[in-house]
Structure 1
C-alpha cells in the first residue's frame, strides 16, 4: 500500500480485472495459486437486492477512512481468494494496505506522470445493505462522522497523457493532451449490488468532475469479452477508438482490451 511497487491502476467493472492491478501484483509478490486467483472476466449472474437510490452518495473522496474502504473493495473485487487458505485474511489486508498507500499517493498528487487523480466512490448507509453481504459490510465500512457507510463502488479519474501498459488515446493532440485528456481506472462495483445502476452513477459523476477540470477527452480500457462493462460505458456515451494488439495482450498475460473514448462539451 522494502521497496514495494505501488499497486497499479486497473480499469474494470464488476468482476473483471483490467491490467495493471493483477499483472504487477504477480511480479511484486509471489502468491501461490491456491491462495489467490484472478477473477474471470465475465458478467455476474448473482441475484442481488435492489437498493434505495435516494440513499446512494457518489462523490470525490478525501478522508483516509473512506480511501481505505475503497482500497478494500478493490482488493475484494479484483481478486478471487480461497477462503480456506492459510492466513488468507492477513494476505487480503496486506494487499489492501498496498493499494491504500498507492491510492493516497495518487490522490495527493505525488504520482509522476499524473497531473491530478481523484478517487470517486459510491456509498450507502450500512443499514441499507446489511442484508446483502456481511463480508462487504465489515470489509468496506467507514464513518463519515454522522453514520456508518459502505463503499459499494469506486473508480479513479486520472488527468494524464497515458496510463502505463495501456493503449494511449489520441485526443487531444500535442501539449493539450497533458491537461485535456483523462482516463478512468480501477472501476469496480461490489458484486452483491450489480445491476443497480451504481456503475452508471460513478461514470456520470466522473464526467462532471472531469468537465470541472477542463477535460475534453475521456478514455477507458475494457476487456473485449467484458460485455457488462462495455454496455455500461457505451450507455454512458463512450465509443470505440482503438483495440489492443493480440501480441501485447499475450505479453502482459491478460485478455485483449478495447480503448473507448468520450468527448466532453467545453465547460
Structure 2
C-alpha cells in the first residue's frame, strides 16, 4: 500500500481539558445526516473507490470531523482544535487501513470524490468543503464528498455484535460499516447509496458473507438509506447500554452478500 505524503503536524498546545471545552457534541459515527438537496452532481465525474494515499485519507478525516462534530463558531482557537481532531482521526484511519488495529482483520476507507473544478459551477458556497477536503490524484485536484469504513471483524467497540454467520471463522466472514457521512452541501445526491453499494462489492471481494451497520433508532433518513440498500433489522441495543454510553439507542441492520458462502 502506497502512502504518498507526510503526516500533518499535531498542534502542540492542546490538553485534554482544552479540547473538550471547545467541543459541543460529537454526532453518532454511524449516522447519515440528510437535508434538502442543494445541487445535483454530474455522475460522470463522481468516483467511488477505496482510498489509500495519505492525501486522500487526510481529506476523508477532515470530512468526518466536519460531519460528526458541532462547534461553537466563536470559540478561540477553533481552527487549531479542528486540526487536532482531524489529525487524530487521520492517524486512526491509517492504523485501521494498515492492519495495525487489534481485533480487526481488514479495513478499507471507501470515499466518494469529485473534481474540484466542478464546484465552480455550483450555485451554493462550498469554500470550506473544498479547502478542508481537497486532495490531488494523478495531478487532478479532487474533493472527498462522502466516506465510510468497511471493517472486517467480529464486532465494533461499544456496539452490539451481529450473530451471522455462526460457523467457525465468523471473524473472517463478517464486516461492519462505520463512519458513514456525506458533505452536508451534497445530501440527497445518492452519495450515501453509492458508498454503500461500493462497500458491498469490496466486501464480496474479501469473501464477506454478512454485512452489518448500526443506526440510531431516531435517524429515519439513515434507516431509509440502508433499508433501500437491502439491509434488514436484526436486533437493537439495550436501553441501559445506550444510557451508559450517553447516546441514542441503536439498531443493528444486516445484509447478506449474494453468492458468498462459508
Number of residue pairs aligned between Structure 1 and Structure 2: 240
Name the residue aligned to 1:156: 149
Q: Which runs of 5+ in 1 are unaligned?
A: 1-27
- In the alignment, structure 1 residue 184 sits paired with structure 2 residue 173: no
Greater gyration radius:
2
Query: 1:16-42 CA deviation, whole Å, 9 max, x = no partner?
Result: xxxxxxxxxxxx665455643335979
Runs of 4+ in 1 over 6 A off after TM superposition: none
Q: 1 CA distance for matches of 2:202 and 2:35?
A: 31
Name the residue aligned to 1:119: 109
Name the residue aligned to 2:10: none
1:166 maps to which of 128, 153, 159: 159
Name the residue aligned to 1:229: 222
Q: After TM superposition, give the deviation of residue 172 of structure 1 in Å.
A: 0.4
The answer as to whether partners of 2:35 and 2:188 remain within 8 angstroms in 1 is no
1:77 maps to which of 67, 70, 91: 67
Name the residue aligned to 2:209: 216
- In the alignment, structure 1 residue 137 sits paired with structure 2 residue 125: no
Structure 1 residues 41-56: aligned runs within 5 Å:
44-56=34-46
When normalised by structure 1's length, the TM-score is 0.86
Q: 2 CA distance for matches of 1:260 and 1:219?
A: 6
1:168–1:99 Cα change, 3 Å: same
Q: 1 CA distance for matches of 2:177 and 2:54?
A: 21
1:110 maps to which of 72, 79, 100: 100
The answer as to whether partners of 1:142 and 1:149 remain within 8 angstroms in 2 is yes
Q: 2 CA distance for matches of 1:45 and 1:170?
A: 33
Q: Which runs of 5+ in 2 are unaligned?
A: 1-15
- In the alignment, structure 1 residue 245 sits paired with structure 2 residue 245: no
Q: 2 CA distance for matches of 1:211 and 1:92?
A: 35
Give 3-state SS (helix, strand or coil) of 1:259's partner. Answer: strand
1:29–1:217 Cα change, 3 Å: farther
Query: 1:135-172 CA deviation, whole Å, 9 max, x = no partner?
Result: 00000000002210000000000000010100000000
The answer as to whether partners of 2:32 and 2:180 remain within 8 angstroms in 1 is no
Q: After TM superposition, give the deviation of residue 174 of structure 1 in Å.
A: 3.9
- In the alignment, structure 1 residue 195 sits paired with structure 2 residue 195: no
Q: After TM superposition, give the deviation of residue 178 of structure 1 in Å.
A: 1.1
Q: 2 CA distance for matches of 1:113 and 1:77?
A: 26
Considering only aligned residues, what root-mean-square deviation do their CA atoms show, in Å? 1.7
Query: 1:96-133 CA deviation, whole Å, 9 max, x = no partner?
Result: 00000010000000001101000000000011124441
- In the alignment, structure 1 residue 205 sits paired with structure 2 residue 226: no
The answer as to whether partners of 2:165 and 2:209 remain within 8 angstroms in 1 is yes
The answer as to whether partners of 2:217 and 2:248 remain within 8 angstroms in 1 is yes
Q: After TM superposition, give the deviation of residue 84 of structure 1 in Å.
A: 1.5
1:86 maps to which of 73, 76, 79: 76
Q: After TM superposition, give the deviation of residue 83 of structure 1 in Å.
A: 1.9
Q: 2 CA distance for matches of 1:39 and 1:178?
A: 28
Q: After TM superposition, give the deviation of residue 47 of structure 1 in Å.
A: 4.5
Q: After TM superposition, give the deviation of residue 81 of structure 1 in Å.
A: 1.4
When normalised by structure 2's length, the TM-score is 0.87
